[in-house]
Every structure is written in structure tokens, then in C-alpha cells.
Amino acid sequence: MLVGRGIVPVVVIDDAAQAPGLVAALAAGGIRCAEITMRTDAGIDAIRAATDSLGDADFVVGAGTVLTGADVDRAVDAGARFIVSPGLDDEVLARSASHDVPIVPGVATATEVQRALRAGLDHLKLFPAGVLGGLPMISALAGPFPQVRFLPSGGVSPANAAEYAASPHVFAVSGSWMAPRDLIAAGDWAEITARSRAAMDLVGA
Ligand code: 3PG
């Protein structure tokens, strides 16, 4: 679902009416997916509005900051096509499986990687990647877990995105810098498109 898409923007939307403009701005910059977080009241309506606006465009909208089984239900009902969690939660994994929707849970330790593998998942978000040690952490985890592919998130920026993306253990990079909350609130689509294009150039996707 997200493999080969290069960058997964993490977006925080305060007004669902901004969602169609946001995804259009990201797409205009070459980005082909977005994780719309459920950390605001507008998150669910934003997922629905974004999904409705996209038609059959090759752009995948998913839900982020999904913390409970009920969140998964609401996200899928709104049209989310993938689920991202900051951590590894059994209820979220089970509910995602019951909806047959791809889930990328967050991990921060080898123990959590093992739990995810036991649940049948090998594409995992490393969060918060920068604080955990960045690429050296990914390389260290790749020793015992060569089959795992990571989505580093948290502290990924234009300064390090290319290096992360070049790792054979990374399937995409994730971050908010293309579409930070203030630019979305301001409706600054031109700036978001420019940042998106620059970001896609960086990761060579
Ligand atoms: C998040 O959950 O907010 C993401 O990991 C994005 O982190 P960033 O703002 O450091 O890119």
C-alpha cells in the first residue's frame, strides 16, 4: 500500500474543509499518499473529505494516530485505506486485520519488533526515529531482523530524508515538514506543493 510511495506526509488538520485542498497540493508536488491524523476533532471528517475529493486518483489516504479499535472502525468507515499507529496495540492490530486494512504500527524496541513479527507484520514505523538514534538504530535492528522494513517517523527532515530513504531497510519516510499544521491552516497550498516537490526530489521516488 505504501511501499514505493517514497514519502508519507503526517498531517494534522483542524478544519476538514481544508482536506481536499491539502491532498491536491500534496499531489501537485508528486506525493501519492497522506496520513491524516486522528489527533484533532476534524481528523475523521478530513479523511472522508480527502477521500471523496480524490476520485480514482493514484493517491492513498490513511489514518494516523489510531489508538483504539473504535478508531480503526471510524477510520475505515471514513475511507481510510491504511492505518498508522504511534505504538503497537493488540486491539488496533486485531481490528485492522478484521477490516482487512493494512496497518503500520509503531515500534521503538527489539521486543516490539518481535511482537509485530509474531502478529505477521514486517513493515513497521520506527517512532520517534530521531530520538531513537536514526539510521544507526535501523541498522542495529536490521541485524536480527533483516526481513523488516521500516518507516522512520519523528525527526525526519530535508536534512536527513535522503539518507533514510537510501537505506535498504527503509520502505518510505514519514514526516510533517511538507505540510505542517500552520501551513495547512493558512491554506498555503503553493508552499505545500513546493515542499512536496522538493521532498520527492530528495528521496528520488
Ligand atoms: C508525528 O507523529 O507527528 C510524526 O512522527 C511526524 O513527526 P515530525 O513532525 O517530526 O515530522
Q: Whose CA is nearest to atom 1 of ligand 1?
A: 154
Q: Closest Cα to atom 4, ligand 1: which residue?
A: 154
Q: Which cell numbers hold the place of 44?
A: 475523521
How far apart, in whole angstroms, are the C-alpha atoms of residue 33 and residue 89?
23
Which pLDDT belongs to residue 57?
83
Assess if residue 1 is contained within a domain. no
10 C-alpha to ligand 1 centroid (Å): 6
In this prediction, does ipTM exceed 0.95? no
Q: What is the pLDDT along the chain (205 residues), one digit of tens a residue?
A: 777 778 999 999 999 999 999 999 999 999 999 999 999 999 999 999 999 999 888 999 999 999 999 999 999 999 999 999 999 999 999 999 999 999 999 999 999 999 999 999 999 999 999 999 999 999 999 999 999 999 999 999 999 999 999 999 999 999 999 999 999 999 999 999 999 999 999 988 6
Indicate which CATH number applies to the domain containing 164.
Answer: 3.20.20.70
- Write out the residue range of the structural domain in which residue 163 sits: 6-203
What is the pLDDT, as a whole number, of residue 4?
Answer: 72
Domain presence at residue 124: yes
Look at residue 205 in the predicted model and tell me its pLDDT.
66
How many other C-beta atoms lie within 10 A of the C-beta of residue 74? Answer: 18
> Is 110 part of any domain?
yes
CA of 155 to the centre of ligand 1 (A): 6
- Ligand 1, closest atom to CA 176? 11
Edge-to-edge, what's the strand order for the sheet holding 106-107? 106-107, 123-126, 149-152
3 state DSSP class of 81: coil
pLDDT tens by residue, 28-84: 999 999 999 999 999 999 999 999 999 888 999 999 999 999 999 999 999 999 999
Contact in structure between 160 and 134 (CB atoms under 8 Å) = yes
Specify the residue with its C-alpha closest to ligand 1, atom 8: 154
Angle, alpha carbons 164-153-176 (nearest 5°): 105
pLDDT value of position 113: 98
- Tell me what pLDDT residue 55 has: 82
Torsion over CA: 27, 14, 173, 92 (sign): negative
User: How many domains does the chain fold into?
Assistant: 1
Give the span between the Cα atoms of 72 and 159, in whole angstroms.
33
